[in-house]
Amino acid sequence: MAYRVATLEKLIEQFERLPGIGHKTAVRLSFAVLSMSEEEGNCFVNAITEARRTVHECDICCNLTDTERCSVCSSSNRDEGIICVVEEPQDVIAFERTREYNGVYHVLHGTISPLNGIGPDQIRIKPLLTRVANNEIEEVIMATNPTVEGEATAMYLSKLLKPFGVKVTRLAYGIPVGGDLEYADEVTLSRSLEGRSEL
Amino acid sequence: MAYRVATLEKLIEQFERLPGIGHKTAVRLSFAVLSMSEEEGNCFVNAITEARRTVHECDICCNLTDTERCSVCSSSNRDEGIICVVEEPQDVIAFERTREYNGVYHVLHGTISPLNGIGPDQIRIKPLLTRVANNEIEEVIMATNPTVEGEATAMYLSKLLKPFGVKVTRLAYGIPVGGDLEYADEVTLSRSLEGRSEL
């Protein structure tokens, strides 16, 4: 029979469960993990268990943190009157990279998606409403993805937030910087036309 | 200051050390590991520690195994008179996939590479010589990679093995099946011409 190593196969299987990892990559990663020195291997496993043990959601914005409050919410330099609502913690990293945004965030951890059985109660909408109700918030920026679910969630949230008398805005749609008009899809192009500004 | 989570960053850093994993993939994998359920997370960590604890080199062929001898060496259906010498355990998997080879293997765990400070003693050459000296071996197939190091290792080994009166062969060079002659490099093409066979 063919060459088989049960524990190695189990490890490959575990790597294959990770998003975007196919069989060949899983094999490569498994051999890399096996060839680590004692110390490297312990570092790797500790990093996983430590991160899983300590990382939790921030009390205020639901972003991931390993301290009581996330570094944005606990900073004194951020404008707490503006909340940028995003789908995932990765989106916060993307906004922070721009170095342009100085408000705070709210991470929904998903979008409303009835087809996948995800209703308003499965994502962090209630903490956002409580936050807007109990604090002086000027503006809530809807920064969900420009997908069907992202749009629907933004619309739904804006309806819930309007009664609080808060300004609700949405990210601009348009042609990506550095892109080529020739390859822009019709919807993006017509949205970009609608949102045109004077020079 | 920007959004920072120390333990998450450590985890991302650890994933980045794996071969072929860049920063974006490391971030994606880290968030995937964090979003695992308690049970999934334990399975993942256990698979790593179990594989690292149990997998070792086979006494005979130096291939990786979690039993005393690897499944090829302990099989009664394999021809022990033919040894296929490969660089890495992954190469054994590749050969086993062909379902054509019925001999046994020897895994060198690298190639001789003086530039990287790897001499004959750093790879599993001695166990191969002992094996050929103490058993009735008909043929040793050099299946190292067609790279400078792979070639040099094959040449070096064949010189060491010839005195034992064993037949030493090398994998055929040629155009890959399904490839396009137009894109074949000159060396491959001329090797393929040299090795032509009658139809």
Per-residue pLDDT reduced to its tens digit, B2-40: 667 889 999 999 999 999 999 999 999 999 999 999 999
pLDDT 10s digits, B93-151:
888 888 889 999 999 999 999 899 999 999 999 999 999 999 999 999 999 998 899 99
Contacts (Cβ under 8 Å, ≥6 apart) of A81: A103, A136, A137, A138, A139
So what's the pLDDT on residue B2?
A: 60
Alpha carbon of A22: minimum distance to chain B alpha carbons (Å) = 13
Facing B3 at nearest CB: one of A1, A34, A70: A70
pLDDT 10s digits, A86-102:
999 989 988 888 888 99
Does A165 reside within a domain? Answer: yes
Facing A55 at nearest CB: one of B5, B18, B54: B5
Question: Which has the closest alpha carbon to A60: A45, A37, A78?
Answer: A78
CA A100 to chain centre: 18
Give the number of beta-carbon pairs within 8 Å between A and B: 149
Does A171 reside within a domain? Answer: yes
Which residue of chain B is at minimal alpha-carbon distance from A94? B3
Does B66 reside within a domain? Answer: no
Does A102 reside within a domain? Answer: yes
Report CB contact under 8 Å: A48, B45.
yes
Domains of chain B: total: 1
Does B198 reside within a domain? Answer: no
Range of the domain at B170: 77-180+186-192
Chain B contact set for A3 (CB, 8 A) = 63, 70-72, 92-93, 96
Alpha carbon of A136: minimum distance to chain B alpha carbons (Å) = 23
What ipTM goes with this model? 0.78
Alpha carbon of B178: minimum distance to chain A alpha carbons (Å) = 20
Q: Tokens in use for B83?
A: 């040894």
Q: What is the CATH number of the domain that holds A139?
A: 3.40.1360.10
Round to whole Å and give the CA distance between A18 and B47: 14
Low-confidence ranges of chain A (pLDDT < 70): 1-3
pLDDT 10s digits, A102-114:
999 999 999 999 8
Does A149 reside within a domain? Answer: yes
Name the β-bridge partners of A106.
A85
> pTM of the full predicted structure?
0.78
Contacts (Cβ under 8 Å, ≥6 apart) of B48: A11, A14, A33, A41, A44, A45, A48
Does A157 reside within a domain? Answer: yes
Does A168 reside within a domain? Answer: yes
Report CB contact under 8 Å: A33, B50.
no
Alpha carbon of B137: minimum distance to chain A alpha carbons (Å) = 21
